């Protein structure tokens, strides 16, 4: 059964997907184009079972779709607007409070914003640049 999610539900699902570093990296890879699980596992440096669990989560959130191709599945973003949303998020420069304590305990490592001379964010400030290829996603 397919259901159209409310706006709040869409944001909650997107937030849940981005809350895990592996899922966030997976979305960045798929932002560059469709890929097969074996390719995704190699690019991200994760095991197939781990990857399968993350892909199932992203499918459940409605962010990716799987297209059967013979005995294989090809994964891609469910809507091209997600690519644009990720691009827009990557252009945001965050001012991180280095003293903030997260509910899970402990102070997170500081991530200082970096602003280029032009006033715009640099690659270091926002992660992968908008035009990144699959090679632009690290295995860390």
Burial 96-128 (b: 16+ CB within 10 A, else e): eeeeeeeeeeeeeeeeeeeeeeeeebeeebbbb
Residue range 55-80: mean pLDDT, rounded: 95
Of 50, 125, 37, 117, give the one whose Cα is nearest residue 89: 125
Which pLDDT score is estimated for 30?
A: 97
Which pLDDT score is estimated for 105?
A: 54
Residue 8 pLDDT > 60, yes or no?
yes
At 11-66, the pLDDT tens digits run 888 888 999 999 999 999 999 999 999 999 999 999 999 999 999 999 998 899 99
């Amino acid at each position: 059964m397919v259901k159209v999610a409310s706006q709040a539900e869409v944001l909650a699902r997107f937030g849940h997907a981005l809350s895990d570093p592996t899922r966030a990296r997976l979305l960045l890879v798929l932002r560059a184009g469709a890929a097969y699980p074996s390719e995704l596992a190699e690019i991200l440096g994760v095991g197939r079972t781990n990857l399968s669990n993350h892909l199932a989560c992203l499918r459940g959130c409605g962010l990716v779709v799987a297209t059967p191709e013979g005995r294989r599945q090809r994964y891609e973003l469910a809507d091209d607007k997600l690519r644009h949303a990720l691009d827009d998020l990557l252009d945001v420069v965050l001012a991180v409070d280095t003293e903030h304590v997260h509910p899970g305990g402990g102070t997170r490592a500081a991530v200082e914003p970096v602003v280029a001379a032009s006033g715009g964010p640099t690659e270091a400030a926002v992660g992968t640049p908008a035009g990144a290829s699959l090679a632009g996603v690290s295995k860390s």
